[in-house]
Structure 1
Amino acid sequence: MTAPHIPINAVDLFSGAGGLTHGLAKAGINVRVGVDVDPACEYPYTENNKAKFLLKSVGDIESRELASYYLPRSVRLLAGCAPCQTFSSYNQKASTDDDRWWLLRHFSRLAGELLPELVTMENVPGLLNHAVFDEFVGSLEASGYEVSKQIVDCQDYGVPQHRNRLVLLASRLGPISLLTPAQFNAKPTSVREAIGNGRVPALAAGSADAVDRLHRASRLSPLNLRRIKASKPGGTWRDWPDELVAECHKKESGKTYAGVYGRMTWDEAAPTMTTQFYGFGNGRFGHPSQDRAISLREGAILQGFPLNYQFVAPGAPVHMKTIGRLIGNAVPVTLGELIGRSMKAHVKEHRDDVLRVLTGGQLA
């Protein structure tokens, strides 16, 4: 006799353009709705995912509104990545005065009121150092959840970039953990495998592909064009002739900032995709062999989005800053799939308890 299928329904808080949702869906989880306050997220989220979109702040959401999206006789998952900029190591002015700091408390509130069987939260590792995270974990534990948390090197799971993320999994069914790279059947992926070997057409700085409007590269000033031509894959601005080096880097205070104005290396992973990855001077975002920064499409691919993922409606203008923000802020799709497959494995492990709950039993 075939074991009954146990569906998992999810709500994605702070959904962004849909990186986490898309990954969860790849793992076989039915994401019912995404919630985000940024209107630019709505088109890519709904166009590429079989889910509804709520343009609303999580702080204004009531649990009964989210409860209506879960289907009967399904395991409920509450997922999300609260805005991470305020906790990021890139933010030198992190402050509890930032309203985003407290959005995690609203996530906690909704989890405590809904009591879904599963909860997951992804964020930057720096969140571990803040009391608001300890409060979040403590609240889950007080509500009967088993909680696991770990720093994940996304490269270990096949994401073609150096990106460390904090992943929390919580379950009211029993102890839970992420799949290992071996269980996920992961293999390292290089920049070449992701965006090389003719996967995307060659492009000049300041131009866009005639077919794929997202495959467009920022303009370069004459000086920056000379700089990128003098740049070596994996090198730094220290490789340049002296006349190309910026005055700020010649000062003692600027000599240590070697991680800008660099090219990627074909056979290694890319650096962490930030919201400004499309700018040559914003990090090691120079294309390994073409004289330009990587395109919006290449950044999306390095974040795990499929080649046909649409971020802009037909005929609408492509704003580099807006789309760069959506891509850089996204949960890598592969990481979302890892979380989803880990949840599926967990539910399978606790099948008897789950079936008892879905047929009218109750968790303690």
Structure 2
Amino acid sequence: MSGQVDPNDRFHAARRHSEIAIRRLRTIPEGGGRADLPDNPVFDCHRDHKGHYDIYGRMWWDQVAPTQTSWCTNVTRGRFAHPVQDRAITLREAMLLQTFPPTAELRGGVEAMALQVGNAAPGLLAQRIGEQIAAMEEVSRSGGAPVGLAVADAKIESSAYAFLVALHSLCSPFRCHSVGSVGVERVASYCVAISSRLWRARVAG
């Protein structure tokens, strides 16, 4: 709960919330947000405002987590409330969503450490990209066509091109907790467009 600290893990420490913040959180169901708050309290800056519904947002147990930002332990800055407990997620929970190792450590004050988490690229995402690049390089060296493209008997010699195709192959099925499905789909679409242009250029040349 608010203010609690795991005696065995200093990064698994719940942010201390004000009484009014806790009362607000109690009214919000799993997956809910500021739209679920009663008329009183309500934020003056949000009166008659459509948008920013993730403020005071709770995460879900069974859905993709939101993008972890530098405010990932602050419920007033996004969907960073625990699914059922009346508190923001802890630094440790945010790190786990970013696929940090369970024993990873951070340095600095709370805000500085949250910034480190929010600015990090998920380790698992980097691993998956690396695996796809290695697989594409193997296909390239064997003279085969890139996975997912209906073009045969062509050899890929460009590492940049192989990377784009690999990233597309990765992003299509992959949903990273911290990047979120929308961001991944945008990256995948971008990779499709760029890789298609490169492929056409190579075939034409």
TM-score, scaled to structure 1: 0.37
Counterpart code for 1:289: V
Is 1:346 aligned with 2:136? yes
- Counterpart CA distance in 2 for 1:344 and 1:237 is 44
Is 1:261 aligned with 2:56? yes
Match for residue 288 of structure 1?
83
Cα deviation digits, residues 48-104 of structure 1 (max 9, x gap): xxxxxxxxxxxxxxxxxxxxxxxxxxxxxxxxxxxxxxxxxxxxxxxxxxxxxxxxx
- Counterpart CA distance in 1 for 2:15 and 2:54 is 19
1:214 alignment partner, SS class: strand
**Structure with greater proportional helix content:** 2
Unpaired runs of 5+ residues, structure 1, are 1-203, 313-317, 354-364
After TM superposition, list the pairs within 5 Å mapping 1:139-178 onto structure 2. Answer: none
1:243 alignment partner, SS class: coil
Match for residue 12 of structure 2?
215
4+ residue segments displaced more than 2 Å: 254-257, 346-353
Match for residue 43 of structure 2?
246
Match for residue 94 of structure 2?
299
Identify which of 124, 127, 141 aligns with 1:337. 127
Cα distance, 1:238 vs structure 2: 2.2
Cα distance, 1:306 vs structure 2: 1.9
Identify which of 253, 273, 294 aligns with 2:68. 273
Match for residue 202 of structure 2?
none
1:215 alignment partner, SS class: strand
Cα distance, 1:352 vs structure 2: 7.0
**Structure with greater proportional strand content:** 1
Cα distance, 1:331 vs structure 2: 0.7
Aligned-residue RMSD, C-alpha: 1.7
Q: Size of the alignment, in residue pairs?
A: 143
Match for residue 29 of structure 2?
232
Identity %: 38
Cα distance, 1:348 vs structure 2: 2.3
Cα deviation digits, residues 196-218 of structure 1 (max 9, x gap): xxxxxxxx212321111111121
- Counterpart CA distance in 1 for 2:21 and 2:66 is 20
- Counterpart CA distance in 2 for 1:331 and 1:257 is 24
Cα distance, 1:284 vs structure 2: 0.9
Structure-2 change in CA distance of 1:351 and 1:249 (3 Å): same
Cα deviation digits, residues 304-351 of structure 1 (max 9, x gap): 112112224xxxxx5211111111111111110111102221332344
Unpaired runs of 5+ residues, structure 2, are 144-205
Counterpart code for 2:5: A
Is 1:322 aligned with 2:117? no
- Counterpart CA distance in 1 for 2:56 and 2:140 is 50
- Counterpart CA distance in 2 for 1:291 and 1:226 is 8
- Counterpart CA distance in 2 for 1:239 and 1:286 is 14
